[in-house]
Amino acid sequence: MTELKQIISKMKVLTTILLLAIALISCTGKDNTEVKNNNENHSVDRDNEKEDIKDKDQVDTNDKEDKNNNEKDNNEKDNNSINNEEDNEKQEHTTKENNNIDDKVEIDYQKIKPNELGHIMVIMYHGISDNPPYHVTEKQFLEDLEYMYENGYRPISMRDYIDNNINIEAGYTPILLTFDDGLSSTFSLVEQDGKLVPKTGTAIEILERFSKEHDGFDNKAALYINAYSIFDGAGTVEERISWLANNGYDVGNHTSSHAENQMLSRLSSRQIMEHIGIVDQIIKNAVPNYTVDSLAYTFGNRPVKALRNLVEDGKYNDVSYHYEVALKEGPSGPYLPPLHKSFNNLNVPRARGSKGDIQDMWWFFDFYEKHPSKKYISDGNVNRVSILKKDEDKINKDKLGDKELYLYEIEE
């Protein structure tokens, strides 16, 4: 009996131990599962963190791209804005050019006192020789040019004079240099290194040389020819006339003959048109499509009043001609510009290019030094005509074309 109790007691102990072992194994499995689960959770968390980081990086990247895109867009907008402004400025500039408005030149009107209705002297020379008052020596011609340069006179072309296209600096005065008779001492060509060039010592060569040495003093002049002895020298007549026209000089009509008995006042209507028409066609044949519309009367002698219109318009050999201005010679004046209402286009005065006679060139130089308000003073703007308000009634507004008329008053 006692042994049975002992066996039962041992079995209870073993059962208890077995139960404890099972319980321990169960707990250990649970712990391992929890660890595994925890490890898996940590792995998921780490993966989630990585994803979060990846997402954050992607967001940051997207933010940067958005920012860059925004900056790019803004830059493009700025560039577009700049381009638009530049386009607008270009458009505005183009519009101004199309409207012939030049706003680049702004002057102090009270200081410059422009007067673009003032006198424009037209000077009459002939050749370079010691035979005054119609001819001058090279020394005298250079003295004339030096005075003009130092005293604010700037040569313009006859074309620009007629067209009211006077483009010189503000404060300066235009002047026209003309040469009659087609003399070889005025202009002659020589062959040099296979090219035709002006002969040294001729008026045109001197003017070319002076112009290169004096900035702003253009080599502009008008040369008037008869039908014979046209700038004797190298080259053909056509080559000589072409050289002048191609180098910016005006070539004009001095009628076909310089004989006293062939002065226009002694000719019939048919003869007048013949004498003008012959030279007109010589020039146009030498330079096709060249505009010939200025004439210098021989001896300053005009046709009788009833036939004077034939200077302006006529026909010879079925070819029509038209002349805008005709020049006389000798003591006269005033030198009104083409825009002045009193301008007489068929009786334009010229001063002899001499010194010592009444109303010759140097006499007028002295006159304008004493009376500067009488001469033309440029405003520097080729598209604007500036005059004193008090002179408005003296301007021929029909000749303004597309140029702006600017009126001002001098402040006391």
pLDDT digits 0-9 by tens, 348-382: 999 999 999 999 999 999 999 999 999 999 999 99
pLDDT for residue 82: 39
Asked if residue 346 belongs to a domain, the reply is: yes
Asked if residue 108 belongs to a domain, the reply is: no
Give how many domains the chain has, as a whole number. 1
- Supply the CATH number for residue 289's domain: 3.20.20.370
Residue 290 DSSP SS3: coil
Number of H helices, E strands in the chain: 9, 14
CA distances from 60 to 51, 54, 66, 223 (A): 13, 9, 9, 82
Single-letter code of the amino acid located at 257: S
Contact predicate 229/212, CB 8 Å: no
Ranges of H-type helices in 105-202: 109-112, 138-150, 158-163
pLDDT for residue 9: 52
Q: What is the mean pLDDT for each group of 10 consecutive residues in the chain (412 residues)?
A: 48 48 40 36 36 37 40 43 43 37 71 98 98 96 98 98 97 98 98 97 98 97 97 98 98 97 97 98 96 97 97 97 96 95 97 96 98 97 97 97 96 86
Beta bridge partners of 251: 223
Asked if residue 237 belongs to a domain, the reply is: yes
Instruction: Name, in order, each residue with C-beta under 8 angstroms of 49's C-beta and a sequence gap of 6 or more.
Output: none
Cα–Cα distance for residue pair 387/378, rounded to 1 Å: 10
Asked if residue 218 belongs to a domain, the reply is: yes
Asked if residue 140 belongs to a domain, the reply is: yes
The helix or strand, by DSSP H or E, that contains position 279, with its residue range, turns out to be helix 269-286
- Domain boundaries, position 337: 115-369
pLDDT for residue 330: 85
Contact predicate 169/231, CB 8 Å: no
Asked if residue 312 belongs to a domain, the reply is: yes
Tokens 């990086």, located at residue = 57
Cα–Cα distance for residue pair 375/129, rounded to 1 Å: 30
Beta bridge partners of 384: 404
Instruction: Name, in order, each residue with C-beta under 8 angstroms of 71's C-beta and a sequence gap of 6 or more.
Output: none
Asked if residue 249 belongs to a domain, the reply is: yes
Asked if residue 88 belongs to a domain, the reply is: no
pLDDT for residue 106: 83
Cα–Cα distance for residue pair 105/382, rounded to 1 Å: 9
Cα–Cα distance for residue pair 142/147, rounded to 1 Å: 9
